[in-house]
Amino acid sequence: MEDNSYKVTFNNGKVRIWKNNVKDAFTLGFHVDSLYQVNGSPLGVMSYDTSLQSKLWHRRFAHLHYKALPDVRQMVIGMPEFQVEKEGVCPRCAEGKPKRGPFPSSQSKTSDILQLVHSDISGMMPVNSLGGYSYYLTFTDDYSQKTWIYFLKMKNELFSWFRHFKALIENQTEKKTKILRTNNGTECESNEFHDFCKEASIKRETTTPYTPEQNGVAERKNRTIMEVVRAMLHDQRLPKFLWAEAAKTAVYVQNQCPHQPLGSNTPEENFTASQREVVISHDVIFREDMALSKVNNLPTLRSSQGADTREPKEKDDESMFDVEEPMDPIDPPPHEPSSSRKRPSWLRGLLDGVEGHAEP
């Protein structure tokens, strides 16, 4: 009643109610013993009038959109006829269905490398990598869009990797890192980290809590890397614990490819200010069997020896199994004798197939 500007008084043993003018008040009930008894049908008294039926049924159908009410009335038996009227925004919908507006694009542009470096940590991953890593850390130069990736076992390793990155890049370019933009995580807010940046005259820019949009360059880079990692692993039907190797390959290739903000230039060209040719002979296709052939000195399959070169049929990703701990897919533990060495089932099948097609 209060939400609809009704006023109620309890006086002289009566309950009176009105909306605009007290002269239009009518008696709703009377005082009986220690309670006030409503006259007539309680449902009839407490229900809204016909002008507010649309709001009533909007609430009864769990705050359904007003435009859908006429369609619902044709599907429901016993729903009265009423005209859909909407006055402003339902206050409860405004409280329960809020959404963030789009963030404006940044208008600030850097004019040289290392003026602004974006950084972020992604993880923890559902499966540890071969090296036992659960996270990866990226540094992206704002001017050139070049990215460096490092792998971490714990988040608190961020500071040591930043010192390594800073020393490496500044020694190569003879330029200084000026601004570092990260999120507001605890791994970025240690006193040791702050003291180091203060001594190196590096300005720190951190995001507002729960606002990753303010570090959009690093967040989008993490998304791009993981999309490529999943595509590469699914393409060759490889297990999930090879995600780190796939991520490193993805970052390397992306640094050599044109980026839309850079026009026809690549991040590597913008960072080094010189054109570099990509070596075509690089085996950029992420294939585990080729790597195993090189490591174990196994002969490469040849079509003339009857090798089956047909494409495997599409099926569910059965090879993307989870492992609790990282394992070496090539070398067995050294304490086991050579006759009893064991390899994973997926690797034994692969090696058996190669040995079956090997030259005599």
- Which token pair is 135? 């996270």
Same domain, 33 and 126: no
Token pair 């993490």: residue:
222
Query: What span, in angstroms and rounded, lies between the C-alpha atoms of 323 and 240?
Result: 8
Provide φ and ψ at 18, rounded to 5°. Answer: -150, 170
Same domain, 299 and 202: no
- Which DSSP letter does residue 253 get? H
Q: What is the pLDDT of residues 252-308, one digit of tens each?
A: 999 988 887 777 788 988 888 776 555 554 555 656 555 555 545 544 444 444 444
Whole-prediction pTM: 0.58
156-165, 334-343, 351-360 — which is least confidently predicted?
334-343
Tell me the CA distances in angstroms from 256 to 261, 277, 287, one per residue in order.
14, 9, 20
Query: What span, in angstroms and rounded, lies between the C-alpha atoms of 151 and 131?
Result: 9
Domain-embedded: residue 286: no
Same domain, 141 and 211: yes
**For residue 24, what pLDDT is reported?**
67
Q: What would the mean pLDDT of 204-215 be, rounded to a whole number? A: 86
Enclosing domain of residue 234 = 117-272
pLDDT at residue 134 greater than cutoff 70: yes
- Which token pair is 165? 């990155």
- Which token pair is 156? 């608190």
In contact, 340 and 286? CB cutoff 8 Å: no
Same domain, 65 and 6: yes
**For residue 358, what pLDDT is reported?**
44
Helices (H) and strands (E) in the chain, counts: 11, 9
pLDDT at residue 14 greater than cutoff 50: yes
For 25-68, where are the alpha helices, taking DSSP H only? 42-46, 53-60
Same domain, 142 and 235: yes
Q: Would you list the DSSP string of 226-260? A: HHHHHHHHHHHT--GGGHHHHHHHHHHHHHTS--G
Domain-embedded: residue 49: yes
Domain boundary among 65, 96, 127: 96
Same domain, 330 and 252: no
**For residue 313, what pLDDT is reported?**
45
Query: What span, in angstroms and rounded, lies between the C-alpha atoms of 48 and 178?
Result: 64
Domain-embedded: residue 105: no
**For residue 301, what pLDDT is reported?**
41
Q: Can you state the angle between helices 288-295 and 345-356, rounded to 10 degrees? A: 70
pLDDT at residue 171 greater than cutoff 80: yes
pLDDT at residue 160 greater than cutoff 70: yes
Same domain, 216 and 298: no
**For residue 348, what pLDDT is reported?**
54
Domain-embedded: residue 147: yes
Same domain, 73 and 200: no
Domain-embedded: residue 109: no
| Banded pLDDT at 181 (limits 50, 70, 90) | very high
Q: Higher-confidence residue: 209 or 36?
A: 209
**For residue 198, what pLDDT is reported?**
92
Query: How many C-beta atoms lie closer than 10 Å to residue 265's C-beta?
Result: 15
**For residue 340, what pLDDT is reported?**
40
Domain boundary among 243, 272, 301: 272
- Which DSSP letter does residue 175 get? -
Same domain, 145 and 258: yes
CATH number at residue 203: 3.30.420.10
Query: What span, in angstroms and rounded, lies between the C-alpha atoms of 267 and 360?
Result: 48
pLDDT at residue 322 greater than cutoff 70: no
Domain-embedded: residue 278: no
Q: Which residues contact 178 (CB under 8 A, 6 or more apart)?
A: 114, 115, 116, 202, 203
Domain-embedded: residue 212: yes
Same domain, 265 and 195: yes
Query: How many C-beta atoms lie closer than 10 Å to residue 87's C-beta?
Result: 9
302-350-282 Cα angle (round to 5): 60
Q: Among 184, 182, 181, which Cα is nearest to 209's?
A: 184
C-alpha 278, offset from chain centre = 31
For the chain, how many structural domains are there in total? 3
Q: What would the mean pLDDT of 152-179 be, rounded to a whole number? A: 92
Provide φ and ψ at 87, rounded to 5°. Answer: -110, 100
In contact, 32 and 45? CB cutoff 8 Å: no
Strand order in the sheet with 117-123: 147-152, 135-141, 117-123, 179-182, 203-206
Same domain, 58 and 156: no
Percentage of residues in the chain having pLDDT higher than 90: 29
Percentage of residues in the chain having pLDDT higher than 70: 70
Provide φ and ψ at 149, rounded to 5°. Answer: -125, 135
Query: What span, in angstroms and rounded, lies between the C-alpha atoms of 352 and 358?
Result: 10
- Which token pair is 246? 């796939």
**For residue 202, what pLDDT is reported?**
93
C-alpha 290, offset from chain centre = 32
**For residue 46, what pLDDT is reported?**
52
**For residue 329, what pLDDT is reported?**
38
Q: Higher-confidence residue: 40 or 254?
A: 254
Domain-embedded: residue 184: yes
- Which token pair is 140? 């992206």
The most confident of 70-84, 150-164, 296-310, 318-332, by mean pLDDT: 150-164
Q: What is the pLDDT of residues 86-100, one digit of tens each?
A: 767 788 888 888 887
Domain boundary among 206, 237, 272: 272
Same domain, 220 and 178: yes
Q: Higher-confidence residue: 268 or 320?
A: 268
